[in-house]
Amino acid sequence: MTDSPVPILRTSNSRATLDFYRALGYTVTHEQTKPYVYLGVELAGCDLHFSPPPKGTVTPSESVYCLVMVDDVAARHRAFTEAMRGAYGKVLTKGYPRITRFRPGQSRFSLIDPDGNTLMFIQRDEPMDVEYGGAADLSGLAKVIDNARILRDFKVDDKAAGRVLEVGLGRFHEIAPAVDRAKALAMLAEIAIAAGDSARAERLRAEATALPLSDEQRTAVAEELRAGEELARWLGDKGESFTGHAE
């Protein structure tokens, strides 16, 4: 036999907690309200328990984390997304509750429940040697892009990623290759889409499209722009194709 740890997360509203996890496909295993509140849910053999926060604690709070190792993180994200659309009519990406987006190649995403409990779902065979930015063989704006990618895709911090890219573009604008500037602009465009600023996203996409690139470089940038299109569709908006031509 092996030990089975069961995290006890916070709940300030029993109905809201259970309704949320039921909507995602969890089975309720405990629903106790007297003499004290104690809740439990289960999915794929993973149990989560809940109790009220200590008196004086302000919720929601994202300071409570739980790591959930899964065999197919992309499939789990897809299942949660479909469940959210069915239950709420849209994917919840802001406020409480919400889910973070998932890009091809990522190995984790976060689910934040109504009380701010954060469940981070991680691919079970995620490489131990994931490079968390600052790759030694990169320099200039390329290194900035690598750092921003880690902030965006692994640390799920769009604001920090955006700041890093904006500073990098300002610092290396005159010396960075056009392809790196285009990639940075495309990444900023996707971050703008995630923030709901479609006007800014279109301006950034247009600026990226206007840069002089070879066909090979334009293909590389197009992959980043397509990620923005996929994000727009995931959010329920209309994405536009990258149709610029090499100059």
Lowest mean pLDDT among 99-113, 122-136, 223-237: 122-136
* Nearest-angstrom CA–CA distance, 111 and 66: 10
Whole-number pLDDT of residue 11: 94
Cis amide prior to 54 (ω within 30 degrees): no
Q: How high is the mean pLDDT of the chain? A: 87
Look at the chain and count its residues: 247
- Is the pLDDT score of 57 beyond 80? no
- Cβ burial, residue 160 (10 Å; 0-12/13-18/19+): middle
Q: What is the pLDDT averaged over residues 12-31?
A: 96
- Is the pLDDT score of 223 beyond 70? yes
Per the listing, tokens 């290396």 go with: 172
Whole-number pLDDT of residue 235: 79
241 compared with 226, residue with greater pLDDT: 226
DSSP H/E element including 247: none
Q: What is the pLDDT averaged over residues 182-211?
A: 92
